[in-house]
Amino acid sequence: MHSCSSDSESDVGKSPPRKKKVVRYEQKFIDSWLSDEKFSGWLAKSKKGNTYFYCSACDCDRKCGIQELTRHKNSSKHQANCKKIQKQPKLTSLFASTSKSQEPQQMAKVGEIKLACFIAEHNLAFNVASHLTNLIKSVCPDSKTAEYLSMSRTKARAIVVNVTGKTAEENLIKNLRENEFALLVDESTDKSTIKHLALIARLVNTNYEVEDKFLTVIPITDGSAKVLYQKTVEYFNEKEIPYKKNLLGFASDGANVMFGGNNSMITHLKNDIPNIFTMKCICHSFALCASHACEKLPRGLEDFCREVFNHIQNSPKRIGDYKTFQAFTNIREVTAIAFTATVHLLLTNHLGSCYSLLHERVKISLFNLTAKARIAHTSHTLSHVCVPCTCATAILR
């Protein structure tokens, strides 16, 4: 009895045992869920914290967890909301369909401009425009852009004159207003006996490359130096181009109206721009040098070059004999070109070929002759070199 009472008294003095706290783990949002096909399209991160996920279909936030995600995905409310979203068209799809329907038409307009520029660049007749458009349609029957191509002679000319031409002129004038440039000038008379003053601007583009661009053609009635100067200055003032500030150089042919010492276009320009750089046309200067140098040569040489062409070119039979002779002598076939005073600097190779042909012809003609006959034939050839109109006939006979 005593032992039992003592045990009960000891139990009363002891405190009850404490319960262990259960630590609950909270799942955090995992970024790999976004790429999962089961949750794509509606799953997103929640603004409430990293332990929540956001459903864009139901517009609600839920606790994270793979089981919670699966349970919410399979719920009837979520599935009904997803079906409503799929049936609703997106605003961007409306714009995309409109742009796709207009894209071939817009591309066709760009193609028409490029075709018009191609015709102008290669100096083709505007009548080619309709045939070229039909050709592209027949070559590309499956192209939607080609179906909308529609351009004839009138439209091609209008594009070149009113679109590309105006745009190129505006860009060039803008560059001349802001940058320094040089001016190349020449006057000419067309078939209708109307004089024109052509202006070409030389400037440096953004890639630091020198370009020559056509500026304008000014019709004139008087070709005097004062009129040419006034027409040029009027054009610069009309386009608001500060030529006194930006014009650095002037180039033209060596005519007196352009480079005369007392009254010329350059003297009037130097009154406005004293330090302007001037240069005559190099080709015209070389032509004058060559012309004066040829005056020291015998007249028969120039007449010989002219008569060789006239003797061969005016007879179909002689042209055939000329080709047969070139094939027989196994030399490169060349075409006889007329000798003129303006382009003879470009005919160095052709004159050398004519000399080689003449040399071969003399060698063949002297091959079967005796020594005495060769001397006589050579003397006869040299004597006709200085005689006009007979040297070519005598040598090629």
Give the mean model confidence (pLDDT) for residues 237-256: 90
Q: Which residue has the higher pLDDT, 290 or 269?
A: 269
- Strand, coil or helix: 88: coil
Q: What is the 3-state secondary structure (H, E, C) of 315-337?
A: CHHHHHHHHHHHHHCCCCCCCCC
pLDDT of residue 238: 92
Q: Please, where are the H alpha helices in 59-164?
A: 66-73, 76-87, 91-121, 128-139, 144-147, 153-159
pLDDT of residue 372: 55
pLDDT tens digits for range 299-314: 887 788 778 888 887 7
Distance CA 213, CA 225 (A): 24
- Is the model's pLDDT at 261 over the cut of 60? yes
pLDDT tens digits for range 166-213: 999 999 999 999 999 999 998 887 777 788 899 999 998 888 888 999
| Chain mean pLDDT for the chain | 78
For residue 44, the surrounding DSSP H or E stretch is strand 43-45
Q: Which residue carries 């150089």 as its tokens?
A: 249
Give the mean model confidence (pLDDT) for residues 87-104: 59
Hey, what CATH class is 179-280 in? alpha beta
pLDDT tens digits for range 335-348: 776 666 555 445 55
Q: Please count the residues of the chain.
A: 397
Which residues, other chains included, contact 39 with Cβ-Cβ below 8 Å and sequence gap of 6+? 33, 69, 73
- With CA atoms as reference, report the closest residue to 241 among 175, 165, 166, 168: 175
Tell me the pLDDT band of 16, cut-offs 50, 70 and 90.
low
Tell me the pLDDT band of 397, cut-offs 50, 70 and 90.
very low
Domain boundaries, the chain: 31-87, 101-166, 179-280, 294-396
Distance CA 55, CA 73 (A): 9
Structure-derived torsion over alpha carbons of residues 9, 11, 13, 19, reported in degrees to the nearest 10: -170
Tell me the pLDDT band of 114, cut-offs 50, 70 and 90.
very high
* Residue 249 burial by Cβ neighbours in a 10 Å radius (0-12, 13-18, 19+): middle
pLDDT of residue 122: 92
